[in-house]
C-alpha cells in the first residue's frame, strides 16, 4: 500500500481504509464508522471531530492522515443559481468546481401545480490546468500543472454540498467536465467515482455520474471494459478533421473517424448511449453544412447531441450565434433523426467558462 502520509482519508476506498484499520489492530467495522463520518451531510472535517470513535483511535488516525483538505478561496454566485467555487490545494495550486441547480417541472397539473424535480449537479475538475489546449476553453491558458488525487476530486463534491461552504443540499448528479481531461487522470477519476458511488459513502448512483473527454481513443476503449454504468460524454465540436483540428489539437492524434469508430465500439460493448457535446461558435462551426455533416457522422449511433452556446472568454473574438441560427442547426439534426438539445447557458454573469475564474485569480496574483 501507498504510505498513509501521502494520502488524505478522502483518497481511500472503504477496502483500503479497512485494510489500514485492521493493520492497527482495530476491528474492521471501524472503517465503516470512519466512512460514515467522512460523508454524512454535516461531516467532521478532521479525525478529532469524529466523536463516534474512541479518543485514542482518533489520535492515531489524525497522526496517520494529516489534514489535506481544500480551502475555499473564492465563491461566485450567478443570478440563475449557478455557483462557482475556487479552491486552494495544499501545494498552493487552485482548482474550480461548479454547482448547477435545476428545477425541472414534472407534468404539471391543476391538482399539483408546483410539483418539480430538483437536480443539483456538481461539475468537478480532475487536473490543475489542462494539456489539451482546446481553442474555446480557458482551462489550459495557464498551462497544465498536475493531476488531482482521488481525494481532491471527492472533496470538490463535499465542498459544494456542505452547509459550511456550499448549498447544504444533497447532490444528485456529478459531471467530470471541469478543468482538465478526466481520461488523462484515469486511475484517480475511477477511484473517485467508486468512492462517491459507494453505499457507505456519498451514495451517488453510477448512472448519475458523467465522464467527459476530448476523445482519448485508447482510454474510451478501456472505459468500455470497466463494467461501470457511468455516462460518457464526448467533446466533439466539429464534424470533420479540418475544422476540429483547428479547434482541438487532440484531433491530430485521434481524428474524427477513429474517434467515432471507438464510440461505436463503446456503445456495442456497454449498450449505453453516448452524449456528444457541440459548442456552437458564431460563423465557425454553426453553418448548415456542419449540421448536415454532423447528422451524417452520427447516423445509426446510439447517441444524443448537446448543443451549447459559446461562452465568451476575455481576449477571444469568438462569440455565440444568434438564437435563430442555433435553432436552425438544431432543427437540421432533428429532421435527420439525431436526438439533440439546445442547452441553456448558465453562469453568464460570473466567470462561468471552464478555467476562467482560476485564470482571472492567477492574473490578479501576478500583478
Tell me which residues are annotated as active site: 96, 354
Is residue 326 within a helix (H) or strand (E), and if so which, with residue range?
A: helix 323-335
Residue that is written with C-alpha cell 453510477 in the block: 206
* Pairing of the two strands 146-147 and 71-77: unpaired
CA dihedral over 164, 348, 143, 246, signed as positive or negative? positive
Q: 187: which residues sit within 8 A by CB, 6+ positions away?
A: none
Would you call 13 exposed, middle or buried from its count of C-beta atoms within 10 A (0-12, 13-18, 19+)? Answer: middle
Q: Which residue do the cell numbers 452556446 mark?
A: 309
Grouping H, G, I as helix, E, B as strand and the rest as coil, residue 336 is: coil
Give the span between the Cα atoms of 264 and 298, in whole angstroms: 9
Q: Are strands 116-123 and 173-176 parallel, antiparallel or unpaired?
A: parallel
Query: Whole-angstrom Cα distance, residue 127 to residue 20?
Result: 27
CA dist 307 → 2, 20, 79, 271, 277 (Å): 43, 47, 22, 23, 6
Amino acid at each position: 500500500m501507498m504510505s498513509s502520509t501521502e494520502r488524505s482519508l478522502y483518497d481511500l476506498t472503504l477496502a483500503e481504509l479497512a485494510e489500514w484499520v485492521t493493520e492497527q489492530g482495530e476491528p474492521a467495522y471501524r472503517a465503516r464508522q470512519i466512512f460514515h463520518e467522512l460523508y454524512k451531510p454535516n461531516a467532521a472535517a478532521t479525525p478529532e471531530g469524529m466523536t463516534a470513535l474512541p479518543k485514542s483511535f482518533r489520535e492515531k488516525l489524525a497522526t496517520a492522515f494529516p489534514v489535506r483538505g481544500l480551502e475555499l478561496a473564492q465563491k461566485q454566485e450567478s443570478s440563475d443559481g449557478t455557483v462557482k467555487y475556487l479552491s486552494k490545494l495544499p501545494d498552493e495550486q487552485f482548482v474550480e468546481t461548479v454547482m448547477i441547480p435545476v428545477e425541472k417541472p414534472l407534468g404539471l397539473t391543476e391538482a399539483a401545480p408546483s410539483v418539480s424535480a430538483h437536480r443539483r449537479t456538481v461539475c468537478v475538475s480532475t487536473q490543475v490546468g489542462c494539456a489539451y489546449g482546446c481553442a474555446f476553453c480557458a482551462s489550459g491558458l495557464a498551462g497544465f500543472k498536475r493531476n488531482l488525487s482521488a481525494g481532491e476530486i471527492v472533496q470538490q463534491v463535499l465542498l459544494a454540498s456542505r452547509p459550511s461552504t456550499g448549498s447544504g443540499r444533497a447532490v444528485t448528479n456529478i459531471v467530470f467536465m471541469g478543468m482538465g481531461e478526466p481520461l488523462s487522470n484515469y486511475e484517480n477519476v475511477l477511484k473517485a467515482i467508486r468512492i462517491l458511488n459507494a453505499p457507505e459513502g456519498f451514495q451517488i448512483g453510477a448512472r448519475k455520474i458523467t465522464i467527459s473527454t476530448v476523445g482519448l481513443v485508447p482510454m474510451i476503449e478501456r472505459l468500455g471494459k470497466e463494467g461501470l454504468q457511468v455516462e460518457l460524454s464526448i467533446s466533439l465540436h466539429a464534424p470533420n478533421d479540418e475544422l476540429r483540428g483547428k479547434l482541438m489539437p487532440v484531433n491530430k492524434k485521434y481524428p474524427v473517424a477513429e474517434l467515432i469508430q471507438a464510440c461505436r465500439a463503446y456503445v456495442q460493448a456497454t449498450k449505453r448511449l453516448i452524449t456528444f457535446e457541440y459548442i456552437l461558435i458564431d460563423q465557425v462551426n454553426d453553418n448548415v453544412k456542419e449540421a448536415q455533416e454532423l447528422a451524417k457522422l452520427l447516423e445509426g449511433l446510439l447517441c444524443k447531441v448537446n448543443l451549447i452556446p459559446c461562452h465568451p472568454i476575455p481576449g477571444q473574438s469568438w462569440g455565440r450565434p444568434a438564437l435563430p441560427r442555433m435553432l436552425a442547426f438544431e432543427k437540421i439534426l432533428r429532421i435527420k433523426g439525431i436526438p439533440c438539445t439546445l442547452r441553456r447557458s448558465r453562469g453568464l454573469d460570473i466567470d462561468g467558462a471552464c478555467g476562467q475564474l482560476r485564470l482571472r485569480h492567477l492574473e490578479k496574483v501576478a500583478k
